[in-house]
Structure 1
Amino acid sequence: MPEPGLSPLQSTLPTAASHFGAHVLGRSRTAGAEAAPVAQPAVAGVLPGASGVLPGASGVLPGVAAPAVPTPAVAVPAGPAPAVPAPVVAVSAAAGTPGPGLERVLRGPSGLGTAGLSLVRAVEPPAAVAAEAPVEVLEIPGLYYHPVPEPDPVRVAEIGRRIKEWAVEEVELYPEEWEKQFDGFSVGRYMVACHPDAPTVDHLMIATRLMVAENAVDDYYCEDHGGSPIGLGGRLLLAHTALDPLHTTREYQPQWAESLRADAPRRAYRSAMEYFGRQATPSQADRFRHDMARLHLGYLAEGSWAQTDHTPEVWEYLVMRQFNNFRPCPTITDTVGGYELPADLHAQPAMQRVIALAGNACTIVNDLYSYTKELAAPGRHLNLPVVIADREDLSDQDGYLKAVEVHNDLMRDFEAEAAALAAACPVPGVQRFLRGVATWVDGNHYWHQTNTYRYSLPDFW
């Protein structure tokens, strides 16, 4: 799939990208640089545009030749340009004097690579549009994030219509009594916020089908709707063959093929993967299968701890969350964007570290916003605040506040590593992919922060 360059949906990116490399490299030489306060996250500064080359960069990653990037012969079709309302209001500290734990969090990330650096796309002043009701947000004081524009409501509505039709009529994913929960997930708003550069609604449906299918596997096999750690490995193995097909003898092939229709998660996986495969390159599809195997391994680790009533050490929990996390979602950002990051560049250790840090930060966001939801559910659910409080002998509040710190540190490291990679590898596809991953991180936070149907926050401030 050729690199088509930026679609019109990314026309709000700044044109001053040529200064980015020198700016970041100059900052990296400044010892003891302090980060800007995070109580009012900035929206300025993004990764360079896909067509620019960074000044001062010495070349591509060691051992990797920069691929030729021809001028595309065919423009990528684009949907209507979304209206861009004002950004979501940034978080602010609670009134009064914070305690030592909260004060430490409110200082935000600091250190090399964090001062003045933001990987969020720029936001231009909005055009005149009809007034809409403000989006309700959940505010976690001290949480480091970047606000994003409201997603295009036309695309949100169309994605919502298409995905519900697919889930109900094509794969029979859920019974009628679960309709309210499905609607409350707001998957259309989620995916449009995470993939604003998708050239068409059809491209957005790649991510949307896969997201819904992955969530169904988690619900049916692991958690909310009859999930159990008992027998989880066998269920996940059979479901994984809907993504990574079985190659066996003629005698047994039909029985396996029939098994893919046996339950809702397998039907959803098979249908979503077929749709993805029609628009992805073979290397993109293989990359996704690998990341889904990682996800299923993380499910198994969490399930085994539930069976043995084991509370892991904090570092062990973070290992599990690096596998049981959102990584498969940002790693397909190029497919959804209508281009391909070459496999050799995607496989580079520096790129793999950036993707892993992005997935880890996104997953800890989920731990923070779903904290009270999980406490209210039957049984004991492991999440980072719970594990920190248990293993480090802290109060529930201090455990939660330290989990905020962990998230902020992951975000700081993600942004610093992405900036270093952007400077070291001034290849247009790399720049665009890094920007896509950063946008996914920000869109993921936006969805959690604004999904008040699913989430609420503890009274710790």
Structure 2
Amino acid sequence: MPEPGPSPLQSSLPAAAARFGAHVFANALASGIEAVGALSTVPADAPVGVPVEVPVPLPPAGPVDVPVSEDGPAAAVWQASPALERILRGPSGLGTASLHLAARAEVLPAAPAAPAPEEPVPGHPIPGLYYHPIQEPGPARVEEVSRRIKDWAVDEVDLYPDDWEGEFDGFSVGRYMVACHPDAPTVEHLMLATRLMVAENAVDDCYCEDHGGSPIGLGGRLLMAHTALDPLHTTKEYQPEWAQSLHSDAPRRAYRSAMEYFLQVASPSQADRFRHDMARLHMGYLAEAAWAQTDHVPEVWEYLAMRQFNNFRPCPTITDTVGGYELPADLHAPAAMQRVIALAGNATTIVNDLYSYTKEQASPGRHLNLPVVIAEREDTSEREAYLKAVEVHNDLMHEFEAEAAALAAACPVPSVLRFLRGVAVWVDGNHYWHQTNTYRYSLPDFW
């Protein structure tokens, strides 16, 4: 099938932002408010590394008339709240003028421009898979992130023994994160996501999968590791023993260090959001481990429920932190936004199931993935099950894009639009990395 081209969501966001800006501008003029400065967010279509100024006035005090479409579930469940109105209005009162977002424009430092590729992108996309191609990530940024993350892994957290070095390099995490976060203002912002990604994979490999992982006792190991993200509050007598335990193995060392860096930049709300999503991830690990212990193959819907928790959700949910801005909690928490984020996480995780299928089938034991579960529960051939899994992915992608577009129309606030675009770009970058990582993945011979 032909490539679908740029994401409809991404291409629709600049227009939605422009409509909202014009709407607010008209209200501001009617209220006698002077349009000054710019919002400290970057427009959805701004190229990375180009200084931008976005002249958008503050909305007037009181309710803002945001047009809400009745089409689609996302628009239907979005409701403005007093907290949302407060966010849109900004701080008020004596001495708060300098706190308004409109008081200053954000200028992003120049990022290395990606040269035109001299050869085709490595790897082959899965035939029939719905995805959006992306621009090749800038090689200078990729190289710098790759250098820094390896220094961190080796020198700061002692993450892996020497004989794992090839696997670490083959993971290509620098290319992964640069592809997923093209709006990161600095390399250090990219490193926030990169450290967390590497730490999460260390927990998965060492506790659950390839490098000594086991379902037996997994709950205790995950709980102790989670305290590196969500710290223990206990008595003075026992606090030192817990603190020492955070250095006892590679996953906990990685979690502790990555979270310390993240907290230097993230707001308390962003940090708590991330901890919540990591608890979701760990619960998904435990469900899969329980099935492994009882040799249970779940129903397809049960597997998809597990994958909604054991998935990539913690990664796109921090796209605002990595982008150098914040989607406030009142805009992140509503059901419509949560549905968009969940669908994005589900679609990206099925991408992993599909690209890692051959690798997992060649590994010892039975690995649960969507094609395997479909084949067993719906009594189909491996090929038919794999192609059915492609359809499931495509349905999730279409649903994600429809819900995100509805939400963008229902609440076209600049930070919402930028966050939705960041999630969409993360989805596209995740596919790019899976497609091009020929060190790890190859496709089955089903076509």
Q: Which TM-score applies when normalising by structure 2?
A: 0.82
Name 1:309's counterpart in structure 2. 295
Shift of 1:84: 5.8
Name 2:3's counterpart in structure 1. 40
Q: Counterparts of 1:141 and 1:450 in 2: how far apart (Å)?
A: 14
- Specify the SS of the correspondent of 1:237: helix
Shift of 1:419: 0.3
Q: Counterparts of 1:438 and 1:361 in 2: how far apart (Å)?
A: 11
Per-residue deviation, residues 416-460 of structure 1 (Å, max 9, x unmatched): 000000000010000000000000000000000000000011100
Find 1:221's aligned residue among 197, 204, 207: 207
Whichever residue aligns with residue 13 of structure 2, its letter is P
Q: Counterparts of 1:294 and 1:211 in 2: how far apart (Å)?
A: 15
Superposed, 1:169-184 pairs within 5 Å as 169-184=155-170
Superposed, 1:98-247 pairs within 5 Å as 132-247=118-233
Q: Counterparts of 2:438 and 2:297 in 1: how far apart (Å)?
A: 29
Superposed, 1:222-301 pairs within 5 Å as 222-301=208-287
Q: Counterparts of 1:289 and 1:243 in 2: how far apart (Å)?
A: 6
Question: Percent identity of the aligned residues?
Answer: 74
Name 2:362's counterpart in structure 1. 376
Distance 1:285 1:201, change over 3 A: same
Whichever residue aligns with residue 240 of structure 2, its letter is P
Structure 1 residue 62 and structure 2 residue 79: aligned?
yes
Q: Counterparts of 1:44 and 1:169 in 2: how far apart (Å)?
A: 40
- Specify the SS of the correspondent of 1:385: helix
CA contact (8 A) 2:184 2:322 kept: yes
Whichever residue aligns with residue 401 of structure 2, its letter is E
- Specify the SS of the correspondent of 1:52: helix
Find 2:340's aligned residue among 351, 354, 359: 354
Per-residue deviation, residues 123-172 of structure 1 (Å, max 9, x unmatched): xxxxxxxx634321223111000000000100000000000000011000
Question: Higher helix proportion, which one?
Answer: 2
Structure 1 residue 421 and structure 2 residue 407: aligned?
yes
Q: Counterparts of 2:301 and 2:133 in 1: how far apart (Å)?
A: 29
Per-residue deviation, residues 330-373 of structure 1 (Å, max 9, x unmatched): 00000000000010110000000000000000000000000010
Structure 1 residue 340 and structure 2 residue 326: aligned?
yes
CA contact (8 A) 1:39 1:141 kept: no
RMSD: 1.6
Q: Counterparts of 2:187 and 2:194 in 1: how far apart (Å)?
A: 10
Q: Counterparts of 2:182 and 2:66 in 1: how far apart (Å)?
A: 28
Unaligned runs of 5+ in 2: 24-64, 69-74, 91-100
Q: Counterparts of 1:82 and 1:284 in 2: how far apart (Å)?
A: 30
Q: Counterparts of 2:305 and 2:19 in 1: how far apart (Å)?
A: 36
Q: Counterparts of 2:6 and 2:303 in 1: how far apart (Å)?
A: 32
CA contact (8 A) 2:300 2:377 kept: yes
Name 2:31's counterpart in structure 1. none
Name 2:19's counterpart in structure 1. 53
CA contact (8 A) 1:47 1:431 kept: no
Shift of 1:378: 1.1
Unaligned runs of 5+ in 1: 1-37, 86-130
Q: Counterparts of 2:171 and 2:267 in 1: how far apart (Å)?
A: 29
Q: Counterparts of 1:143 and 1:414 in 2: how far apart (Å)?
A: 15
Q: Counterparts of 1:419 and 1:355 in 2: how far apart (Å)?
A: 13
Structure 1 residue 83 and structure 2 residue 114: aligned?
yes
Shift of 1:51: 5.1
Q: Counterparts of 1:406 and 1:361 in 2: how far apart (Å)?
A: 9
Structure 1 residue 435 and structure 2 residue 415: aligned?
no
Name 2:104's counterpart in structure 1. 73
Structure 1 residue 386 and structure 2 residue 372: aligned?
yes
CA contact (8 A) 2:3 2:131 kept: no
Q: Counterparts of 1:44 and 1:418 in 2: how far apart (Å)?
A: 11
Q: Counterparts of 1:229 and 1:238 in 2: how far apart (Å)?
A: 15
Distance 1:457 1:426, change over 3 A: same
Whichever residue aligns with residue 250 of structure 1, its letter is K
Name 2:384's counterpart in structure 1. 398
CA contact (8 A) 1:137 1:452 kept: yes
Shift of 1:42: 1.6
Name 1:318's counterpart in structure 2. 304
Q: Counterparts of 1:352 and 1:244 in 2: how far apart (Å)?
A: 22
Q: Counterparts of 2:113 and 2:367 in 1: how far apart (Å)?
A: 39
CA contact (8 A) 2:229 2:255 kept: yes
Kindly tell me the number of residue pairs found equivalent between the two proteins. 379
CA contact (8 A) 2:112 2:140 kept: no
- Specify the SS of the correspondent of 1:328: coil
Shift of 1:243: 0.1
Q: Counterparts of 2:153 and 2:19 in 1: how far apart (Å)?
A: 43
Distance 1:62 1:256, change over 3 A: same
CA contact (8 A) 1:47 1:434 kept: no
CA contact (8 A) 1:53 1:428 kept: no
Name 2:49's counterpart in structure 1. none
CA contact (8 A) 2:359 2:441 kept: yes
Shift of 1:39: 2.3
Superposed, 1:18-37 pairs within 5 Å as none
Shift of 1:80: 1.9
